[in-house]
Amino acid sequence: MKKYGVILLTFIFALVLTIMPMPDWFKYLRPDWLLMVMLYWAMALPERMGIFFAFCCGIVLDVTLSSYLGQHALAFIVCIFFMGKLYQGIRVLPELQQSITLLFFFIAYKVMLLWQYGMTKQAPESILYFFLSAFTSAVLWPWLFILLREIRRKFIHTVA
Amino acid sequence: MQGLFKNTAGQFLRLAVFASVSILLTYIDYRDDTLRGFRSALGTAIVEPTKFIATLPYNIIQSARGISTSRETLQANLDNLGVRNQRLQTELLTLEGLKAENTRLRELLNSSEKTGTESTVAEIITIDLDPFKQLITLNKGSSDNVVAGQAIVDAYGVMGQIIHTTNNTATTLLVSDPAHSLPVQVQRNGFRTLANGTGHADELNLMHIPSNADIKVGDIIITSGLGGIFPKNYPVGTVKDIQSEVGRPFLKVIAASTAQLNRSREVLILKSVNKDNEKQTNGTNQENQKP
């Protein structure tokens, strides 16, 4: 149970970072912290990080950001599903190639959100700015990867 | 059994089930507010503590700044406020008289319209939500009898309406959000129109104004009270720009909002105009607003 605690703590930290007040110039650049943390755990411990958990995280994020329930949840579960298929190939890549690969996940996430925002008549006026955060997420990925890897090695001892 | 050959069919089934559940939830939430209780409970349990932690650094910096403010600045502030208070008091004296006269005249006309609305003061919590939506969070929630659908004003004009509440917070959709539309009228001649948000703070789009309408730059826009969420006669904005495009039936009219949408710290939550509207809570559902 203690092992799960550490994972949960990283999620709470990601959620805090998602809504933490930032300077104005940073507001379009804010990385999708929750998605990044989730993709890491889905890659490192795929048998722990399932679709149900991704769904719950998505619902929490929907409540936090006051979007319609299920919007972020759907985008999350699709990302986690594909990570569940591809983790074996991705986790052996060096950090730089990993972030390029994950950029596709981040963009796919944004595309799914854009589609849903369009369906509910909330389409953002600038598509370019909308996708900026996918690129910041990819740029920050190596650091997050190293940090979470250290956390995993220190606290979670599995053979997986 | 964890191995190379995982049960992929099972995984795909799980994806399909949860994807359908998500889409169903979105549909229900978009259509009406059946899920309000669930959202409020989850928000109180998980999101409120998160918001508290997220604002901690900012609050600490703010209070540190407050401690280190010099005595001179505070004195100057106090003097300013004193002068202002005096001026407002004198204005209030004349206003009281006018209000009494207004009530008397309305009684003569047998009109049931009430002047003056009850309100609660709330403070804006500094957190960043979606940058593509115009949302703010307030520090009053359902435990202070705040319900979704109530109107928010600041000292200068209409700001928006509450869409979701938790125990101690309330999320507000600002008038500048593209999904928000507000029934308004021109103060000078009572010409009625709709003010839609543009997505830019401090800018509103006045909709469906024919090219021969009597409207000019500098006109003051006030709420018309139609739609039932916003009380009548609150200032909304002033007309900033009028463009007529060839081949278009309507003018393109931009108004600058008088409320300081991205600067105010304290706001007023107004009591609902009529009780029926407490049920209409989905702020982005524009049917509630159209006259």
Domain ranges of chain B: 119-291
- pLDDT band at B286; cut points 50, 70, 90: very low
Q: Which residue has the higher pLDDT, B79 or B104?
A: B79
Q: Between A19, A73, A125, which is nearest B51 by CB?
A: A19
> Is any Cβ of chain B less than 8 angstroms from the Cβ of A158?
no
- Minimal Cα distance from B19: which residue of A? A74
Global ipTM: 0.88
Instruction: State whether residue B142 sits within 8 Å of chain A by CB.
Output: no
CB contact at 8 A, A37 and A139: no
Question: How far is the alpha carbon of B261 from chain A, nearest alpha carbon, in Å?
Answer: 15
Q: Is A28 exposed, middle or buried (0-12, 13-18, 19+ CB in 10 A)?
A: middle
pLDDT digits (tens, 9 = 90+) for B104-121: 887 777 655 555 567 888
CA closest to A65 among chain B residues: B129
Taking only residues 91 to 110 of chain A, the set having a beta carbon closer than 8 angstroms to any beta carbon of chain B reads none
As a whole number, the mean pLDDT across chain B is: 83
Q: What pLDDT does B107 receive?
A: 74
- The dihedral formed by the CA atoms of A6, A8, A10 and A15, expressed in degrees to the nearest 10: -160
Residue B282 or B238, more confident: B238
State the average pLDDT for chain A.
90
Q: Select from B215, B219, B222, B206 the least CA-distant residue to B259.
A: B222
What are the pLDDT digits (tens) for A3-52? 678 889 999 999 999 998 888 888 889 999 999 999 999 999 888 888 99
Domains of chain A: residue spans and CATH? 2-155 (1.10.1760)
Q: Do A122 and B179 touch (CB under 8 A)?
A: yes
How many angstroms separate the CA of residue B193 from the nearest CA in chain A?
21
Phi then psi for residue B115, to 5 deg, are -110, 145
**DSSP states of B64-83:** HHHHT--HHHHHHHHHHHHH
- Asked if the model's pLDDT at residue A107 lies above 70, the reply is yes
**A24 and chain B in contact, CB less than 8 A:** no
Q: Which one is the CATH code of B119-291: 2.40.10.340, 3.40.720.10, 3.40.605.10, 2.60.40.10?
A: 2.40.10.340
Contacts of B23 by beta carbon, 8 Å cutoff, 6+ apart: A70, A74
Ranking A63-77, B70-84, B179-193, B272-286 by mean pLDDT, the lowest is B272-286
B61 in contact with A, Cβ within 8 Å: no
Q: What integer is the mean pLDDT of B274-284?
A: 44
**CA contacts within 13 A on the Cβ side of B260:** 9
Give the minimum alpha-carbon distance from B262 to chain A in angstroms, rounded to a whole number.
11
Instruction: Give the β-pairing of B203-210 and B181-186.
Output: unpaired
Is B25 within 8 Å of A73 when comparing Cβ atoms?
yes
Using CA of residue A76, residue B282, residue B50, residue A22, what is the dihedral sign? positive
With an 8 Å Cβ cutoff, is B128 touching chain A?
A: yes
